[in-house]
Every structure is written in structure tokens, then in C-alpha cells.
Structure 1
Amino acid sequence: MVRIAVVGTGWQGQGHLSTMKKMPEIEVVGVCELNEETLLKAANKFAVKGFTDYVEMLEESKPDGVIICTPPEVREFLVREAAERGIHCFIEKPPAKSLEMAKKVEEILDRTGVINSVGFMYRYSPAVAYLKELIKGRRIALVRSAMLDGLALRPNWPRWFFNKEISGGPVFDQAIHIFDLSRYLLGEVERVTGFQDNLVVPKGGDFTVEDSFNLSMKYQNGILQNHTHTWSYPDVFTQIELISDQLHLTLDLVKGSVTGKVEGETIAFQTEENALYQLELAAFAKAIKEKNPELVLSTYKDSIQSLSVALKAMDALEVSTKITR
């Protein structure tokens, strides 16, 4: 059994705690949170010992791995204290707030050699694995992707999501998943341009993020991608569509399906189970147990490239705003 501790008891941290309680291969041995009231609730809910001191948790609970669910600017210290004790690190996305921060964490992980994983859970989807194998060696010319959600329409959603300085907005919080998965399937991004606006939920007060944006991306291999994103859609929709003279395929990340045609043959793949958070944590735990980092599909070093695309996207959206004003 792999011993895991968790730092951060927000909705993501509690989500991982809930998932691990269903996984017999993992024992949760500690949880850390600065807010004592929040910590007490989480510790009682998940029947695990709580700590307000991170180093104390590492020393006392002696985990094999730690899951870090803190804001992206609070990572270097947490990773260093764990990695230098030989404790393996699972780090939630985004990997950092800036490339400078990310490089510092990368140096620690390289120096200590601990197994590391970043929470880009879509890489573990059976539908993604099927699609990745299906397109191998085949030409892709155009990609259309969309992630539509209604966070900005939910009055009870935590307001910090809508503070761009804290959350980074829909680019950092959600679209980075599309950037990462697209890279995993297609290759590295060369250039990003885009436009943003707030036609549904205007900016003002504590709402400083764009509610919608559109990006155009060009890959180093010539593939062109258009990505549409909104937080003002009253449902959930996440798809990536691949197009060329050889194929026309749609990956639906909500349904866990791949449909379309490849060289005239109809494709209809549907996964029976799409417990992505469980799959990524199972891979992390197995990598620790078997001392095999190859089982991790999203390392910290690789995640920095997805962070770079997200930063390029944010820069492109800011430039477009200045141009249109």
C-alpha cells in the first residue's frame, strides 16, 4: 500500500481525498491546511490526521508521496521539503504561475530524482489512449476544440475564480487542459493569437476575467487549431475535433468517446468508465510502488510546455484587448 499525504483542502484537494478513499492501493496518512476550521472539517470528513504545519506532517506521517493542491504560486517550498526527504510529488495544474517559478521547481525535482506528476487527468482517458493510437502515422491538418462551461453564471461559485490575478481566469483554470492534451496528441505549439470579450458577464468589481475567448494556434509541424472557450454557457461541453483528407474524428471528453471516420471506416468508441482522477492517482501510486516513473503520463518537465502555451495565450488575449480599445 502506498502512503499519501495531501496539502490543500479546497474542492480539488477534497476531490482527491474522496477519490483515494475508494482506492485500496492508497492509504491517506495526513492532510495539511493553514485554515484550522477548514482543516478540522476535512480531517473529520475523511477520518485522517490534520496538520497546520506542512513539515510536521511530512516528518510525522512519513508519506511515500504528497499531493499538492495549493495555488500555483505556492509550490517551490512544498516540493523542496517533500523531494529532499525522498517523498514523491503529485502537483495539481497549473504547474506554476510563471516559467521562472516552474524552472525552480523543475530544478528541485531533477536534483532529487523523485517521481513527479502533474494533474492533467485527460491524458489518462481510455478515449484519449484510443485516439492517440488511431491517429499514429496519419495526417492531421486542422483542429477545432471547444470547452464550454457556466462558471460565470453560477452565483454561489467561489469568487476567487473570477479574480484574474488569483485564478488566471479560464485560460489558466480550464483551457490549459486543452493545451496540454492537444500537445500530447499533436506536438508543440509555435504561435498563439486570439481575442477575448465579456458579452454575457461584464467585467467589474470582483469579476476581472474574460467570460469568453477564441484562440488560433499554429504547431511546429504546421497543424492549425482553433479553440473556443467560455464560462457563460448553461451546460458542459468539451470536444476536440481532428480533420484532414484521411480522417475526421471527434473526441468528446465529457462522454469519453471517439467518433467519426478514418479513411472511410466509421469509428465509434465509447469508454465504459471515465474515472480520470482515479486513473491519474492510480498511475502515480503504481509508479511509486514499482519505482517506475514511466507510468506517469504528465511529468512536471513536460507540463512546463503546457504552461508556456497558456502564458502565450494570456499574452495574446491581452494584446488583442489593447488593439481593440
Structure 2
Amino acid sequence: MPRRVSHISGTDNFNVVFVGAGNIMFGSDEGPWNHSFRFEHKLGPRLKVVALIDPAVDRATSVLAKKCETFVRSAYENTRVFRTLDDFVKNVSKKDTPRAFVIGSPPMFRGTNQSGRDIELQIMKAFPGVALFVEKPVATGPSSEIEEVFKIAKTISDSGTVCSVGYMLRYLKAVQMMKQIIDDNHLTVMTTIARYACAYEAIAKPDWWTKSKSAGPIIEQGTHFCDLSRYFGGEVDISSVVAHSLEWNENAGHLSKLSIDETAIAPEDRIPRVTSATWKYESGAVGNFIHVVALQGHDYSCELEVYADGYQLKLVNPYVQPVLYVRKPGNDHEQVHRFPDDDPFFSEISVWIDNIEDIEEDPETSQILCTYEDACRSYQLTWAIREASERSRDSRLNSS
């Protein structure tokens, strides 16, 4: 497997700044994300969270108080809360100089060179050379700003900053096994087929249902499977993307168990229920993705299939209990591989920290699997799908 995951022992403190005090950083009932927990596990007593930056000071203070009541108190007992990065820069002491920033603030505040939405550039200016971990998607601005996101990517790359973006599914053992099978057998991928069906009843944030705030479910949620599709299929010919949607006001788009009041959202701002897209990869292969807002209850239903000559690789339930079904030449029966207790969130943090700690010294240090530029390409694909679905919707409405 192309990565090494380990607890790092040592005596020197590892200073980290968390940007954002929300669920991605400190966990929630909605899913397995919780970066602080993975940092505690990876670094042990070396972890020192020197600052938590969030304009919601009360929330930040509250999560720190809870941490200080537990056995990881030493990581948080001296953490200072700041409303803005500027406040931190003005007040940081030499001993609190960070080695790394974790950016988990909402994506509308990053990914551009515009004041207030340029956290990456601000960090690199104030702390050149300090490593960055950025949550996905890299931005949720209008599609007209995609060019700006690529400029941020170039700035990060040119500076030599160690940077990783949180497409954690790339780090799944099942995904790496799929990669290994493709590489070992010198296969050429023919098609990727991805399906993401979310349990909408459990999604209670009005912003998620509002396109102008979340950018819509393909960009905000489907992004993981667009990224995973690219991970196997390679670069996408963006001009080839075609998509269709089922809209909220079509008969088949009625949902009976919404946990939000959708009538409070402007009709043109409501999200589609289904988006189905196809495209060509530059290799000639074909990509297919369908995102569905249909399930009730709590569990999502997600699958990714990759086909090559003689081979079918099918990844099922990657978020919770990944199972990989492999069909090979010479046998019609699928081999089944299960991966209990695999934690891709830990793996991505672990690999990133390994690269910060010993990027030159240890040839076994695994490579970061998603660079900022790579994440920009996934972001670009999600916008292309949304815009293609809206074009086909408008065309249908205009012809009726």
C-alpha cells in the first residue's frame, strides 16, 4: 500500500492552528468527521493547538472547554481564541509559532484572492513555509471565480508549501487496493460509474438546501465522488460534460420528509433532487455520476464502479464500512474484500504530518494523495456538471 500510517513519538511540541470551530474540526452526530480527534491520536502529547480562529467566539470557547475536561487537556489548555487570522498574527508569540494550519472554515471564505475570502494567501504571507491542510471543496464561489482558485493552487505549488486537501476517500485501503490492481495488471480504465444517494431526512441545515449558500449538492456533497472518479479516470475533458436534473417542482421531485421549511427558500434557489452526468476523460474513457436526494432515515447509499478489460472493481459504502467486490478474468465470481476499522480521515492527516516532519529524510514517507491543484480540478468538474444540468433544464423549459 502506498502509504505508512503511524503514531509519531517525539518530545518536541507540534504547534497547530485550527481555522473553524465547527463540525468538521470537532465532530458531530452527522458523520465520522472530527479532525481534532485524529490529531490527538497521531501526535499524542506533542499536539499543541496554539489558536482556534472563528468569529463565533462563544462556540469556539465552548468546544475548548469540553476538550479541557478530557485526557487531551494538554493540547488545548493554552489555546487562545481569535475572531480573525489578523488578530492571531498580531498577538502570536515566538513559542506559539505554528508548524501547520488546518482550514476547516466554510468554503465560501477561501479559494480566491479577494479580501476576506483569501485565507490561504493570508496564511502564506504571515507564515511562509507553514504547512496547510484545506477542507474540500476548495471554494464555493460562483463559477466565474474558478480561474482564481487555480491561481491560488499555483501560488501554493510555487511556494513549496506542504499542502493537502481533504478528499479522504482516496486514502481508503479499498481505494488503494483498486489502484494496486490497476497498476499491477497494467490496466487502462474504460469507464467510471459513481452513485451517491443521500439520506435527506437527516440534513437539517437550510443552507445545504439553498444553492446560493452551499452551491448545490453536486459541488458541496457529490464532490467526493467526482474526485474519486477523477482519481481513477484521469483528467476530464470539461467541454464534454453533459447533465440532466430532476427539479424540486417536477412531479417526481416531491419529497415527503423534509426537516427544513423549503418554502422559506426562493424557488430559483432550491436544489435539484437528482443530477445525472456523463463526460469523456482525456484518455477516451467515459465517466458517469448520479447524485440523488431521495433516501430517508440516516444511512447514505454510495457506490463506485471502475471497469477495465476483464475487470470490474466495485466499491460499496465507502463512508462507513467499505466493501470491495473484484471480478477478474477467468472467473465470473466476485472476490469480496472487507476493511473493518479503516479510518481514511486518520490516514490523510497522518500522511500530511509525516510529510511535514520528514519530507526529505525518510523515503518511506507516503505521498500526499490530493494536492490543491488536483482539488481545483475536481471543483471545476462539479461546477461543469451543475452548469450542464442547468443548461439542459433551461433548454427543456424554453422548448415546452
TM-score normalised according to structure 1 size: 0.91
Superposition pairs for residues 249-288 of structure 1, below 5 Å? 249-252=313-316, 253-254=318-319, 255-265=321-331, 266-288=334-356
Q: 1:179 to 1:160 in 2, by over 3 A?
A: same
Distance 1:139 1:113 in 2: 32
State the SS of the aligned residue for 1:138.
coil
Shift of 1:81: 2.7
Shift of 1:263: 0.9
State the SS of the aligned residue for 2:107.
coil
Please say which of residues 35-44 and 293-302 is displaced more in the overlay: 293-302
- Say whether 1:9 aligns with 2:57: no
- Judge conservation of contact 1:18–1:46 (CA < 8 Å) in 2: no
Q: 1:193 to 1:31 in 2, by over 3 A?
A: same
- Say whether 1:200 aligns with 2:281: no
Shift of 1:244: 4.4
Distance 2:88 2:385 in 1: 37
Which of 303, 326, 340 in structure 2 is aligned with 1:239? 303
Shift of 1:45: 2.3
- Aligned-partner residue type, residue 274 of structure 1: D
State the SS of the aligned residue for 2:271.
coil
Shift of 1:56: 3.8
Distance 2:217 2:109 in 1: 20
- Judge conservation of contact 1:73–1:101 (CA < 8 Å) in 2: no
What does residue 90 of structure 1 align with? 133
What does residue 224 of structure 2 align with? 177
Distance 2:57 2:280 in 1: 47
State the SS of the aligned residue for 1:109.
helix
Shift of 1:87: 1.5
Deviations 1:172-203 (A, max 9, x none): 11211111111111211112111111313396
Deviations 1:222-251 (A, max 9, x none): 222221211221231111112344112211
- Say whether 1:150 aligns with 2:199: yes
- Judge conservation of contact 1:149–1:237 (CA < 8 Å) in 2: yes
Distance 1:138 1:181 in 2: 17
Shift of 1:92: 0.6
Superposition pairs for residues 70-85 of structure 1, below 5 Å? 70-75=105-110, 76=112, 77-84=118-125, 85=127
What does residue 220 of structure 1 align with? 282
Shift of 1:79: 1.2
TM-score normalised according to structure 2 size: 0.75
- Say whether 1:54 aligns with 2:89: no
Distance 1:181 1:123 in 2: 7
Shift of 1:147: 0.8
Distance 1:200 1:228 in 2: 18
Q: 1:118 to 1:79 in 2, by over 3 A?
A: same
List structure 1 segments (4+ residues) > 4 angstroms apart after TM superposition.
none
- Judge conservation of contact 1:194–1:313 (CA < 8 Å) in 2: yes
State the SS of the aligned residue for 1:195.
strand
- Say whether 1:63 aligns with 2:98: yes
Distance 2:180 2:387 in 1: 33
Distance 1:3 1:257 in 2: 37
State the SS of the aligned residue for 2:164.
strand
Q: 1:208 to 1:277 in 2, by over 3 A?
A: same
State the SS of the aligned residue for 1:143.
strand
State the SS of the aligned residue for 2:187.
coil
- Aligned-partner residue type, residue 41 of structure 1: S
- Say whether 1:115 aligns with 2:177: no
- Aligned-partner residue type, residue 250 of structure 1: K
What does residue 40 of structure 1 align with? 61
- Judge conservation of contact 2:351–2:366 (CA < 8 Å) in 1: no
Please say which of residues 49-58 and 270-279 is displaced more in the overlay: 49-58
Distance 2:353 2:86 in 1: 21
Shift of 1:287: 0.9
What does residue 303 of structure 1 align with? 375
Q: 1:56 to 1:288 in 2, by over 3 A?
A: farther
Please say which of residues 275-284 and 132-141 is displaced more in the overlay: 132-141
Distance 2:300 2:35 in 1: 21
Shift of 1:64: 0.6
What does residue 291 of structure 2 align with? 229
- Aligned-partner residue type, residue 217 of structure 1: W
Please say which of residues 217-226 and 125-134 is displaced more in the overlay: 217-226
Deviations 1:126-157 (A, max 9, x none): 11000011122224333321111113x236x2
- Judge conservation of contact 1:141–1:223 (CA < 8 Å) in 2: yes
